[in-house]
A and B are shown apart, each in its own frame.
Chain A
């Protein structure tokens, strides 16, 4: 395996041509060689950016000042091209390459594709709107969007008709700004509502509306490209250097991973029952209840719930006491517990074996990995439960009937929406309008809920970048890799170790 420490130097002129535009359609894949390091770094950073795009899109009104500020900040901090500044070559290169890497990771299923396209579109829209008018036109021309601008003379002839058909168009605007001639098939939304002037099969689009057209084009191209990428994916996946990273990228959670326990020892075991009713997300509440009722949980449930408890602040001693006291009420005596189960609890806390301090599962991981089967209680109820049972459960937890209807997902709910639905559950339970956060992690739910209940609601801080640094001296993996990759790898060992049930 050859790792190149440096990338190939490119000839000056070529540099200028390749990335002379701030924004691009990602029509041509990158052709250079890059190091594995860059491959990983670029991918993870773009993923962070897209996650921010998603979060910001959910929590702020698009294009509002707040939205703009947050996105701007993230783009700068992650070193992506920003507002067409000079000498942005490196950033543009990163933009280009990282997009294509993520295509590999996100082309495989309908859900992943949809998510990727949505975030890339939002990002594109934002960046396009930031361009100067002249750059916008340049962009259209360079990208073969055969949208000619209407000549001044034609504009004059059609002026009244244009004003009568397009929203927000005045006489001066027609004269000063460009009007684009677009085939009507590319402007269907405007045609359908008759909000545009049509002549000989062309829609006459004023400058300020051209972004919608461009976005449609972007979406179509990206959709087709992803379909094609999916077909060629087996060849790429067979490369063992890439396969692990790609599969983890699509499952990756890049927010806080709750491996740094902030509240160690602040929770007492007596509080857990009460907390489960108030601040646990539905999946953990479910697991807790099952544990109390059956005095047992299977491996998947122990991992998901046990790590969550660690994340909320339980110490190892507390965890051992917690699990033992419950298991002993069931079929397991104290001896057996110490022999068989205690080891796994200590393992969770990094006190056995490789001594990796495992990170609590993110929502993505809970939803996508290890679906529950008969006798299991883990997983995401919004994803894995039978809808009727889910409704009943919510009723038992005293969610109002209208609340239940809003919260229960339908068959058309897709992957990333389950956590949104979970948050809605939080809203209904606590009778709040706006959660102020978008959910990615069960422990995040707990933290936010506790914050809310204690009356201190401050605006959610930016994703803590420090989680990138490894707290754990025992780990040997690459610092820039997503933590979940490491966790997943180790998890594989743990799984095979415990063969019970």
Chain B
């Protein structure tokens, strides 16, 4: 499918069309209402918009789906961010007594940005990505998805392509939304293995015993490492990149490999030599520092393990780019990623706003009769139907389907929660009342 060339200058014309006919408001509203289990959940949610000329407005909130639509169609935001659910309507936060306006809940989120891997990828840098380094995102998603589900017991994860150089994860379980700042940061730290900035050479340090989480992550990395790092990234080819790898090793091993690499140019053979060096040195206790026997694993992790920004995950009030938002620089829609098709997900195939707007304009003959019948229904529904028909005509369709499936799975849990809530008694005051009966003579 040819991708229409996207020109940022067209955004002011394309966005109104997008918000009128393509943005999946109905599913979006359904998501953020979370089944109506908590009152005013949608109404107290903060949105922020970046408008034309980089004007940024916070504390936007809406009472109904209709209001959300109308406002977005009116303001035509270039970027939409989602924030926390507050104690009061964000749009009225100034009217609230200072100190009482507080962020209460929000999804647990993760942001994986390709730029954070610049020290270990050779193909691209900064905001660029290519099919070679995209593997890093696949690895990140597999590792984090498994950990969040199996270790932490979360079920409702939405992975979204950011539109340019990374992916986001929205953990939408009720328990996740209620996590405190401390809990969020603990989860993020648990998931972090690559530590250190410019100054640190050896960013991954493993010691005995290796935690099961690290073992799980290693098995994912090992699946991809050879093809990704040795072949595609070619980390053991040029002197420069070989030196970077050797810098992570002890002097003994470095010496041995330098000599070996003088003759052996095949990268795969070079890697093998590196790995077997462990066995070679097994007998020599002096060269095995505490945990120093895992240097091959450490290298693999340093080159491939997900790097997440703890600060994004920590804050309850942190604002993150909304799914189905448009990326102004690339024009790509932030679409949900279907994990079942992860291996074939191609960020360059993700539709741009220009593409889908163009697809919208292409008439489809077989639809003509259906239109007449359905327009007889009430206007809003008709409008919605039109819109549903609309996106279905475009490349956006399959991504909205992914979103639908995600919502369906959550909807089942909402039902359960509604039942639970009606049976709950308020116990918080019983202690208070008991205390008040404490008497003395």
Contact = CB atoms under 8 A, between A and B. Distances in A.
Interface of A: 2-4, 27-31, 33-36, 39, 100, 161, 163-165, 184-185, 188-189, 191-194, 197-202, 225, 228-229, 232, 235
Contact of B209 (A27, A164, A189): A164
A259 B211 CA distance: 61
B247 interface: no
B438 A202 contact: no
A225 B432 CA distance: 8
Contacts of B150: 199-200
B126 interface: no
Interface string B198-240: 0000000000011111110000000000000000000000000
Contacts of B180: 185
A2 B441 contact: yes
13 contacts: A28-B434, A33-B440, A100-B435, A164-B209, A185-B183, A188-B186, A191-B186, A191-B189, A192-B189, A192-B190, A194-B189, A201-B175, A229-B435
B437 interface: yes
A163 B210 CA distance: 10
Interface string B173-208: 001000110110111011000000000000000000
A192 B186 contact: yes
> Closest 6 A-B residue pairs measured CB to CB?
A201-B153, A192-B186, A198-B151, A200-B153, A164-B209, A188-B186
B436 interface: yes
Nearest to B212: A161
A232 B213 contact: no
A76 B439 CA distance: 28
A192 B151 CA distance: 13
Chain B interface mostly: helix
Contacts of B373: none
A198 B213 contact: yes
A232 B432 contact: yes
Nearest to B187: A191
A34 B154 CA distance: 51
Given A191-B190, A192-B190, A235 B153 contact: no
Nearest to B173: A201
B152 A184 contact: yes
Contacts of A100: 435, 438
Interface string B359-396: 00000000000000000000000000000000000000
Contact of B431 (A27, A39, A193, A194): A27
Contacts of A197: 211-212
B189 A33 contact: no
Contacts of A165: 209, 211-212
A183 B185 CA distance: 16
Contact of A35 (B154, B432, B434, B441): B441
A235 B436 contact: yes
A98 B150 CA distance: 46
Nearest to B185: A192
Given A161-B212, A199-B151, A228 B438 contact: no
Interface in B150-184: 150-154, 175, 179-180, 182-183
B195 to A, nearest CB: 12
Interface core residue of A4, A185, A199, A229 (most chain B CB under 10 Å): A185
The residue in A28, A33, A184, A199 that gathers the most chain B C-beta atoms within 10 A of its C-beta is: A184
Given A35-B441, A200-B152, 16 more contacts: A29-B434, A31-B434, A36-B440, A39-B440, A163-B209, A185-B179, A191-B187, A194-B190, A197-B212, A198-B151, A198-B152, A198-B213, A200-B150, A200-B151, A200-B153, A201-B175
Sort chain B's interface into a size bin: 20 to 34
A164 B209 CA distance: 5
B431 A225 contact: yes
B439 A33 contact: yes
A185 to B, nearest CB: 5
A36 to B, nearest CB: 7
Contacts of B441: 2-4, 33, 35
B384 to A, nearest CB: 37
B183 to A, nearest CB: 5
A29 B438 contact: yes
B153 A232 contact: no
Contacts of B183: 184-185, 188
Contacts of B209: 163-165
B436 A232 contact: yes
Contacts of B432: 228, 232
B212 A188 contact: no
A188 B182 CA distance: 8
Nearest to A97: B438
Contacts of A163: 209
Q: Which of B189, B440, B441 has the most CB of A within 10 A?
A: B440
A228 B209 CA distance: 45
Residue from A36, A39, A161 with most neighbouring chain B CB atoms (10 Å): A161
A200 B152 CA distance: 5
A29 B435 contact: yes
Contacts of B440: 33-36, 39
A110 B439 CA distance: 26
B179 to A, nearest CB: 7
Contacts of B437: 31
Nearest to B439: A33
Q: Which of B180, B182, B186, B210 has the most CB of A within 10 A?
A: B186
A199 to B, nearest CB: 7
B297 to A, nearest CB: 14
Contacts of A164: 209-212, 215
B153 A202 contact: yes
